[in-house]
């Protein structure tokens, strides 16, 4: 698909549901007693893989004609052994959280995924989970396909996160649901807390407090094991990671005004908005409220002249998925933008740090890649844009969407090599952006995009 330089964007849209919360709603509903009704579930490929996995483990899951999802759960410890391999597709979140659930269930299961997911390390999850008594048999580096033999008498866990990771934290807490006693997680850098919020929503006893951890300020999370989770209604807010694409596109195109309804405003997910506002982005936050235990608001983004900034490493966990699109904003800004604390990008759907740097260089943007940082030399207006070569998306949905946004604000069109990964998180991306005025085109035979 090609994104062509365009004029102002305008309109009001409601974006897909939050992917992180959608995964958890299905999983927690499957572990609860009773019927969980979910509104606004993201129906992207990643989340649908999680739904299929929970069905294979014995939960009853249906979508009604009105678009609501219904989950009839099995209760803690009552999932059944799957008859076949659980294929998690491209979903690292689904795979890692599911390993936490399976670790404290007395069953054997095999997980696999697509070519991208099979390259991603799972040892960061399986190592702490082994302490509960589970056994994991994996390829070198802890990679999928992977067999998990769940503990028959699981032990509670006590784990200090060596690096900020909401997926690892959540996997440990999910394993702790099936163990007697209290599971404890300590994190020195706050990560997204969707699991803690939703566990409390479903009736788990979970406590958070600030502590001193060997001279460092930290947060301690304590979960009482073997609760009876009670089914609850879940209203999934709009995904702030998906909102980032039309948000940045509106900022980069003069005269734009785009309204995004019901965007999740979890404090551990708001780093991009903070950074864009520091860069001079005109973003109004209106109608703040709570929805399903999560803060949400409506955002209005208007065309702006951006300037380069320095993004501190401590902000990275609150915007780790948004650095690809921030790099596109940095490319159009005036001056240098330096982003720190990006090591986690190396183990996403692709090596995102390297993919961003290669793609920006191909579009004529000055960029310097370091092991855990990225410096972008902004063009102070429209970046040069693409050439005859397509940007290699490397099966990564966020790389694909980010460079399409850059193409809208560049001097020359930007072509990406593969649109299909976008279906994992934002299947209606192209239609939604075109509805706001973006100009996308799919040359016949040139791409794998299937509308």
Q: How confident is the model at residue 432 (pLDDT cuts 50, 70, 90)?
A: very high
Tokens of 147: 């067999």
Higher pLDDT pick, 203 / 350: 203
Average pLDDT score over residue span 193-220: 94
For residue 443, what pLDDT is reported? Answer: 59
Q: Where along the chain do its domains lie?
A: 2-16+238-441, 19-223
**pLDDT tens digits, residue range 43-63?**
999 999 999 999 999 999 999
Rounded-to-integer distance, Cα 163 and Cα 302, Å = 36
- Which pairing describes strands 282-291 and 310-311: parallel, antiparallel, or unpaired? unpaired
Q: How confident is the model at residue 450 (pLDDT cuts 50, 70, 90)?
A: very low
Q: Among 236-240, 419-423, 441-445, which stretch is predicted with the lowest mean pLDDT?
A: 441-445
CATH fold for the domain made of 2-16+238-441: UDP-n-acetylglucosamine1-carboxyvinyl-transferase; Chain (3.65.10)
For residue 449, what pLDDT is reported? Answer: 36
Task: Please report how many Cα atoms fall inside a 13 Å half-sphere around the Cα of residue 185, on the Cβ side.
Answer: 32
* DSSP label of 112: E
Q: How confident is the model at residue 293 (pLDDT cuts 50, 70, 90)?
A: confident
**Annotated catalytic sites, by residue?**
321
Distances 72 to 28, 35, 39, 69, 83 between C-alpha atoms, Å: 10, 5, 15, 10, 19
CATH of domain 19-223: 3.65.10.10
For residue 100, what pLDDT is reported? Answer: 98
Q: Please report the DSSP string for 281-300 in residue order.
A: -EEEEEEEEEETTEEEEEEE
Q: How many CB atoms lie within 10 A of CB 387?
A: 13
- The reply to whether domains 2-16+238-441 and 19-223 share a CATH topology is yes
Cβ neighbours for 354, distance < 8 A, ≥ 6 positions apart:
346, 369
pTM for the structure as a whole = 0.85
Q: How confident is the model at residue 141 (pLDDT cuts 50, 70, 90)?
A: confident
Rounded-to-integer distance, Cα 205 and Cα 212, Å = 22
**pLDDT tens digits, residue range 77-114?**
999 999 999 999 999 999 999 999 999 999 999 999 99
Distances 338 to 254, 275, 307, 368, 376 between C-alpha atoms, Å: 24, 11, 12, 9, 7
User: Please, are residues 398 and 92 in contact by the beta-carbon 8 Å criterion?
Assistant: no
Looking at the DSSP bridge assignments, the partners of residue 58 are none
- Residue 387 confidence (pLDDT) above 60: yes
Looking at the DSSP bridge assignments, the partners of residue 297 are 263
- Residue 120 confidence (pLDDT) above 50: yes
The pLDDT mean for the chain works out to: 94
Distances 185 to 130, 208, 219, 314, 369 between C-alpha atoms, Å: 15, 10, 8, 19, 33
Q: How confident is the model at residue 425 (pLDDT cuts 50, 70, 90)?
A: confident
**pLDDT tens digits, residue range 309-356?**
999 999 999 999 999 999 999 999 999 999 999 999 998 888 999 999
- Residue 294 confidence (pLDDT) above 90: no
For residue 55, give the H/E element and its range: helix 45-56
Rounded-to-integer distance, Cα 183 and Cα 35, Å = 27
Cβ neighbours for 435, distance < 8 A, ≥ 6 positions apart:
11, 13
Cβ neighbours for 39, distance < 8 A, ≥ 6 positions apart:
67, 68, 233, 234, 235, 236
- Residue 193 confidence (pLDDT) above 50: yes
For residue 388, what pLDDT is reported? Answer: 72
Average pLDDT score over residue span 206-234: 95
Rounded-to-integer distance, Cα 393 and Cα 350, Å = 8
């Amino acid at each position: 698909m090609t994104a062509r330089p365009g004029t102002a964007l305008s309109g009001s849209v409601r974006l897909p549901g939050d992917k992180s919360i959608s995964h958890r709603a299905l999983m927690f509903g499957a572990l609860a007693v009773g019927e969980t009704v979910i509104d606004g579930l993201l129906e992207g490929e990643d989340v649908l893989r999680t739904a299929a996995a929970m069905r294979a483990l014995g939960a009853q899951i249906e979508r009604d004609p009105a678009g609501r999802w219904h989950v009839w759960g099995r209760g803690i410890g009552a999932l059944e052994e799957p008859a076949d391999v659980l294929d998690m597709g491209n979903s690292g979140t689904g795979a890692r959280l599911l390993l936490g659930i399976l670790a404290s269930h007395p069953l054997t299961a095999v997980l696999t995924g697509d070519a991208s997911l099979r390259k991603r390390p799972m040892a960061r999850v399986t190592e702490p989970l082994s302490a509960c008594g589970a056994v994991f048999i994996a390829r070198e580096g802890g990679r999928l396909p992977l067999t998990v033999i769940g503990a028959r008498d699981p032990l509670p866990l006590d784990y200090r996160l060596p690096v900020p990771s909401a997926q690892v934290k959540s996997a440990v807490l999910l394993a702790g649901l099936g163990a007697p006693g209290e599971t404890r997680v300590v994190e020195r850098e706050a990560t997204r807390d969707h699991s803690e919020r939703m566990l409390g929503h479903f009736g788990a006893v979970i406590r958070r407090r600030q502590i001193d951890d060997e001279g460092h300020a930290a947060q301690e999370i304590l979960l009482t094991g073997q609760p009876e989770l009670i089914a609850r209604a879940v209203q999934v807010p709009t995904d702030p990671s998906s909102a980032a694409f039309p948000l940045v596109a509106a900022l980069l195109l003069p005269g734009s005004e785009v309204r995004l309804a019901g965007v999740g405003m979890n404090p551990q997910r708001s780093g991009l908005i903070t950074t864009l506002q520091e860069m001079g982005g005109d973003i109004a936050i209106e109608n703040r409220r709570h929805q399903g235990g999560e803060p949400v608001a409506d955002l209005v983004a208007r065309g702006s002249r951006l300037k380069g900034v320095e993004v501190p490493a401590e902000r990275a966990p609150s915007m780790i998925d948004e650095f690809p699109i921030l790099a596109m904003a940095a490319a159009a800004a005036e001056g240098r933008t330096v982003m720190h604390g990006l090591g986690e990008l190396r183990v996403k759907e692709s090596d995102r740090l390297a993919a961003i740097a290669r793609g920006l260089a191909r579009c004529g943007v000055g960029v310097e890649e370091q092991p855990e940082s990225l410096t972008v030399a902004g063009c102070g207006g429209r970046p040069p844009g693409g050439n005859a070569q397509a940007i290699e998306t490397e099966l990564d949905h966020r790389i694909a969407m980010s460079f399409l946004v850059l193409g809208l604000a560049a001097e020359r069109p930007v072509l990406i090599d593969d649109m299909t990964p976008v279906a994992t998180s934002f299947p209606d991306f192209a239609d939604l952006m075109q509805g706001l005025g973006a100009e996308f085109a799919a040359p016949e035979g040139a791409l794998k995009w299937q509308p």
